[in-house]
Amino acid sequence: IRLLRESLQSDSTKNMLARIKKGAIASVKSNIVHRSIIGLAIFGVYVFFMLGKMPFWLASFLALSAVLIFVRFDKTLKTVLKMLLIAALCVAGIVLLFQYAFNVPMP
């Protein structure tokens, strides 16, 4: 509250609101923000719609594949295949580690 009061004393409320509006518009137009929202949406689909309705390994593979391909997409089949392989190895490693090494059943 003290910082808000100090900033309002150094500048007018109108200028502060204009800067906030400008920053909000820049955030909405930002490619980084768009990519973050899409990544969160992919994980939201994974958590709320895939887990529990399909086997853990399949849901995890599909979600991880989608995120990796989305993040590294450069329109080449080679990259897509690499991301699918990485996702498969990661999910297999997680399942093997927890289910067999730690004896923790996967959902």
CB of 29 within 8 A of CB of 51? no
Does residue 28 form part of some domain?
no
Does residue 18 form part of some domain?
no
Quote the pLDDT of residue 7: 78
Domain residue limits at 53: 34-101
Q: Flag whether pLDDT at 107 surpasses 80.
A: no
pTM (predicted TM-score): 0.73
Does residue 74 form part of some domain?
yes
For the segment 41-84, what is each residue's pLDDT rounded down to a tens digit?
999 999 999 999 999 999 999 999 999 999 988 889 999 999 99
Domain count, the chain: 1
Count Cβ atoms within 10 A of the Cβ of residue 64 and give its class: 0-12 exposed, 13-18 middle, 19 or more buried.
buried
Q: Give CA–CA dist 48/14, Å, rounded.
A: 42
Q: Give CA–CA dist 19/13, Å, rounded.
A: 10
